[in-house]
């Protein structure tokens, strides 16, 4: 990457002078707050095939907004707001999972209608559950809570920030090093370990998306982390889909579809060993320029 890391330049500027970042941060937070309320409405009204996914990503982006500045605040509300966002994610986990399994099954050559019917039944049941939960959710209260959290975080940042600490730079380096360490220590065929790695990648990627807003363009590092997230996500979804098929249908007429799924899992395992390693090496190399890491 010419001139070193884009992320480094952004976080270094913010670490030296966070006030230049506040306007963009506030606009992004407000946009995500509005987006969450819109997507909740879309899920309830069943508008758009991606409404459930969009609602969940809105929750994660708001979590990233809070986590970016929570270091500067001892106030309890930001932590409570994160809990409320996590509750929405937890309530919608199963519906999202079954929706993803259906997408995979419909794209496999050796799928069978009975498999699709089974997961469709599961999906609609879980979709009704999340709709019932969202119907009971006080969205006005949630909107106010998010606005108050945003106000608390920005006020506490102004009050407690010390320019010489280079907090944002160090925080990014710590998160990135944790991803590299977790990857190197992980068993590349252990889905549980790889899933934990994906969560770390996802959390850092959403933080970087906020930095991209400040930079007025998507950062190259964010795109790289998205590639890693997609590879790890596909691997996890296929592994769990395979387990669920075996558990439900007990290998009856599963040989062809399991062979197809195993081929896909093998491909993702190779992508993890080669592509993910190469992406992390490239990211590390750009940070290492000019003693950035």
**Tell me: the pLDDT tens digits for 156-194?**
999 998 877 788 888 889 999 999 999 999 999 899 999
Among 216, 227, 222, smallest CA distance to 13 is for: 216
Give pLDDT, residue 69: 94
What stretches of the chain adopt beta strand conformation (E)? none
Question: Which pair of structure tokens corresponds to residue 163?
Answer: 């320019």
Q: Is the pLDDT of residue 240 over 90?
A: yes
- What DSSP line would sit under 2-42, residue for residue? TTS-HHHHHHHHHHH-THHHHHHHHHHHHHHHHHHHHHHHH
Q: Give 138's DSSP letter.
A: -
Rounded distance, CA 261 to CA 9, Å?
42
Distance, in Å, from the CA atom of 109 to the CA atom of 61, rounded to the nearest integer, reads 35
The reported pLDDT for the residue numbered 153 is 95
Q: E strand or H helix at 145, and its extent?
A: helix 139-160
Instruction: Give the model's pLDDT for residue 287.
Output: 78
Query: For the whole prediction, is pTM greater than 0.95?
Result: no
CA distance 215 to 141: 32
CA distance 233 to 274: 16
The b/e string for 27-37 (b: 16+ C-beta within 10 A; e otherwise) is ebbeebbebbb
Owner of token pair 């994610």: 89
Nearest C-alpha neighbor of 203 from the set 239, 228, 234: 228
Q: Is the pLDDT of residue 89 over 70?
A: yes
Average pLDDT value for the chain: 91
134: three-class secondary structure by DSSP = helix
Whose tokens are 């907004």? That residue is 65
106's enclosing H/E stretch is helix 77-107
């Amino acid at each position: 990457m010419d001139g070193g890391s884009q992320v480094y330049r952004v976080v270094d500027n913010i670490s030296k002078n966070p006030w230049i970042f506040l306007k963009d941060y506030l606009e992004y937070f407000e946009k995500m707050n509005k987006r969450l309320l819109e997507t909740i409405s879309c899920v309830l009204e069943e508008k758009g095939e991606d409404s459930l996914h969009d609602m969940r990503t809105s929750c994660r982006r708001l979590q990233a907004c809070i986590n970016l500045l929570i270091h500067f605040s001892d106030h309890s509300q930001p932590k409570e707001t994160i809990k409320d966002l996590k509750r929405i994610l937890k309530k919608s986990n199963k519906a999202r999972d079954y929706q993803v399994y259906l997408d995979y099954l419909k794209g496999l050559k050796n799928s069978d209608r009975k498999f699709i019917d089974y997961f469709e039944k599961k999906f609609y049941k879980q979709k009704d559950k999340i709709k019932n939960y969202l119907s009971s959710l006080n969205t006005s209260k949630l909107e106010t809570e998010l606005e108050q959290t945003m106000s608390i975080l920005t006020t506490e940042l102004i009050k407690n920030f010390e320019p010489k600490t280079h907090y944002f730079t160090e925080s990014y380096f710590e998160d990135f090093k944790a991803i590299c360490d977790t990857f190197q220590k992980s068993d590349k065929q252990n889905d549980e370990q790889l899933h934990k790695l994906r969560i770390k990648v996802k959390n850092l990627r959403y933080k970087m998306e906020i930095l991209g807003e400040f930079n007025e363009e998507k950062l190259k590092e964010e795109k790289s982390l998205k590639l890693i997230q997609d590879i790890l996500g596909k691997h996890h979804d296929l592994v769990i889909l395979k387990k669920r098929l075996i558990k439900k249908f007990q290998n009856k007429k599963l040989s062809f579809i399991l062979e197809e799924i195993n081929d896909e899992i093998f491909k993702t395992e190779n992508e993890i060993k080669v592509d993910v390693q190469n992406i992390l090496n490239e990211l590390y190399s750009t940070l290492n320029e000019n003693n950035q890491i």
